[in-house]
Structure 1
Amino acid sequence: MSYPPPYVVEPQPGHAHSHTIILLHGRSSTAKEFASDLLSLKTSSPTQNLLSSFPRFRWVFPNAGDRWCTAFKEKRFAWCDTFSLDNLSERQDLQVAGLRDGIQLIKRTVEDEAERLGGSSRRIILGGFSQGGATALWSLFSGAATAKGKLGAFVGLSAWMPFTKEAIEVVIANGSDISPDLRVKNLATTFLDIIGLEAFTSEGMALEHIQGTRIFLGHGTDDALISVKNCHDLSAILRSLEAVLEVHEYVGADREGHWVKEPEQVDDIVGFLNMQPEKDESGASNR
């Protein structure tokens, strides 16, 4: 699939590019709409937002473009064809083509941004909102996002994951005697088999890349569109992989709970990103 160009916000004037954050929008939105809404949210300090908190960040918002959505019988901006939000496992076959294309777009985007950063994927943060978070998670677990090395962090906002039941089966339900290394391998193999792609990374690097990427999950307990149970399932999967995980739940966000809670969640995102190592191997600060 051919994707529209991303919406990009360059580092603030007078600040050198130190890190890139790649964030995917949700269904029925666009990169520009999502970026405008997200970056306008304030922290508990009314004069601060995400841009002012990280003036050296380059913000990249990939664009899904429009695709046929079976449930609505029309084209919508979407990363994949999700049949039902009430039962995300229903007609999962419809999601496969979008996931296959989406994770390869993320792979290319990460590689392009790493090149801008002198080859350092550790200075890249990946994430997304809702269906964008779902696609970004698949790119992480399949190895597409880490084909060139570890990421600095992952940020999931009201996220869910396609084929969660299958993921739980291979990483949790098979018993506690399975090593984290084998769990990561089984999960990547399962996802790659579903979408019909070859491995992006060697088996030996898969666990290191998952465990080396700090992960933030934030979800509304009153989210009327994507149940917070999805966050609980993701947390269980990630803990079974021994990932470094930070989970927050919120009440009272706009859009029936299916949005980022201002200012609490914005504060938590800023705090999470500020816990990135102040300098990476290249000596670049994140502020």
Structure 2
Amino acid sequence: MPQESKLDFPELHIIHPQDNQAHTHTAILLHGRASSGPEFAEDLFSSSTSTGKTLSACLPTWRWVFPTSRNRWSTSFQEDMCAWFDVYSLNDITARQELQVEGLRESVGYVLGIVEGEVERLKGEGEDGRVFLGGMSQGMAMGLWTLFCAPGDAIRRWKLGGFLGMSGWLPFAGEVEERGRGQGRGKAALGFFSKKISASDSECDSDVLSTPVLLTHGTDDVWVSVDLGRQARRVLEETMGLSVEWEEFTGAENDGHWVKEPEGFDRILRFLERT
């Protein structure tokens, strides 16, 4: 299974717990294509819940970690851009899918290393489940692959609090469905992820399939169709056997490609507050 990438990635953008409060939880959130960690953090914390407070203000003991991807060549745009992996088309996510593999392999290793570091940082601070992983748009896609490519021994150490996906999709969703048909579908589907990244059927740990998941998506999203979010939900639930909470809404900013304010942020807050 992949280890932390040795390739150069930009510095992490970190929002520390407020007013020197003790660190109790960490959220690792991945930005979308052509964005960055600092930009995603600014956008996220410019939005509020129904109380008028941001997520960071509502969760003052949390540490918020916003990684930034490397610049890589975009085949569709014919230029370098900040992206976790190359995507040829979001109108047809099956088109030239193999372009995604190199970036997924590099980025999965990098993000796994960040998760390991945050788990270690919170070691001895009480119960497990204090680290959350998630992302927006391509960041959601990247986060799901990171979760499903984690080595079994890491999953047993981590026991993540949950996964939060916003306005995203699942790369190779059709292949995951095909791999996961029949008996032992969840674990069989996990084998697809490890094989695609490491070119071997490494042992997978089904503990990852107990990770709580919240997915949100705008029905009017013009950048990533809500149908792709619904497909991700279906594969996670019906093929892999995860318990997925799903929230659709209409009228979010950025042509629907964002979280509806404040309702969507209230929903995210309730999900994060459960630990």
TM-score (norm 1): 0.87
Identity over the aligned pairs, expressed in percent? 41
CA contact (8 A) 2:29 2:67 kept: yes
**What's the secondary structure of 2:135's corresponding residue?**
strand
Unpaired runs of 5+ in structure 1?
277-287
| Aligned residue runs from structure 1 range 262-277, under 5 A | 262-276=261-275
Equivalent position of 2:224 in the other structure: 226
Measure how far apart 1:68 and its partner are. 0.6
Equivalent position of 2:214 in the other structure: 216
CA contact (8 A) 1:140 1:210 kept: no
Structure 1 residues 238 and 40: alpha-carbon distance in aligned structure 2, compared to 1, 3 A threshold: same
Deviations 1:62-107 (A, max 9, x none): 1102111011111001000101121122111110011001111111
Measure how far apart 1:147 and its partner are. 6.6
Further displaced range: 110-119 or 75-84: 110-119
The 2-side partners of 1:103 and 1:246 are apart by 24
The 2-side partners of 1:97 and 1:129 are apart by 20
Structure 1 residues 103 and 199: alpha-carbon distance in aligned structure 2, compared to 1, 3 A threshold: farther
Measure how far apart 1:191 and its partner are. 1.7
The 2-side partners of 1:157 and 1:135 are apart by 12
**What's the secondary structure of 1:146's corresponding residue?**
helix
Equivalent position of 1:123 in the other structure: 130
The 2-side partners of 1:76 and 1:168 are apart by 30
Equivalent position of 2:241 in the other structure: 242
Equivalent position of 2:174 in the other structure: 165
Measure how far apart 1:197 and its partner are. 4.9
Query: Which one-letter code corresponds to 1:195 in the other structure?
Result: I
CA contact (8 A) 1:15 1:55 kept: yes
Does residue 132 in structure 1 map to residue 139 in structure 2? yes
Deviations 1:134-192 (A, max 9, x none): 01001112225737332111000011111011011122xx24xx2xxx22321222122
Deviations 1:199-248 (A, max 9, x none): 67x44xx222221x110000001111111112211221222233222110
Equivalent position of 1:284 in the other structure: none
Pick the aligned partner of 2:46 from 40, 47, 50: 40
Structure 1 residues 142 and 184: alpha-carbon distance in aligned structure 2, compared to 1, 3 A threshold: farther
CA contact (8 A) 2:119 2:158 kept: no
Equivalent position of 2:54 in the other structure: 49
Query: Which one-letter code corresponds to 1:274 in the other structure?
Result: E
CA contact (8 A) 1:127 1:155 kept: yes
The 2-side partners of 1:147 and 1:100 are apart by 22
The 1-side partners of 2:109 and 2:267 are apart by 30
Pick the aligned partner of 1:185 from 184, 187, 208: 187
Query: Which one-letter code corresponds to 1:39 in the other structure?
Result: F
Equivalent position of 1:279 in the other structure: none
**What's the secondary structure of 1:192's corresponding residue?**
helix
The 1-side partners of 2:233 and 2:60 are apart by 30
Structure 1 residues 21 and 193: alpha-carbon distance in aligned structure 2, compared to 1, 3 A threshold: same
CA contact (8 A) 2:195 2:201 kept: no
Structure 1 residues 215 and 5: alpha-carbon distance in aligned structure 2, compared to 1, 3 A threshold: same
Query: Which one-letter code corresponds to 2:113 in the other structure?
Result: R
CA contact (8 A) 2:88 2:99 kept: yes
The 1-side partners of 2:199 and 2:113 are apart by 15
CA contact (8 A) 1:67 1:81 kept: yes
CA RMSD of aligned residues (A): 1.7
| Aligned residue runs from structure 1 range 65-104, under 5 A | 65-104=70-109
TM-score (norm 2): 0.91
CA contact (8 A) 1:86 1:225 kept: no
The 2-side partners of 1:263 and 1:231 are apart by 20
The 2-side partners of 1:275 and 1:151 are apart by 12
Dislocated runs of 4+, deviation >4 Å: 197-200
CA contact (8 A) 2:156 2:207 kept: no
Equivalent position of 2:32 in the other structure: 26
Measure how far apart 1:39 and its partner are. 1.2
The 1-side partners of 2:155 and 2:168 are apart by 19
The 2-side partners of 1:95 and 1:70 are apart by 10
The 2-side partners of 1:184 and 1:103 are apart by 20
Count of residues paired in the alignment: 264
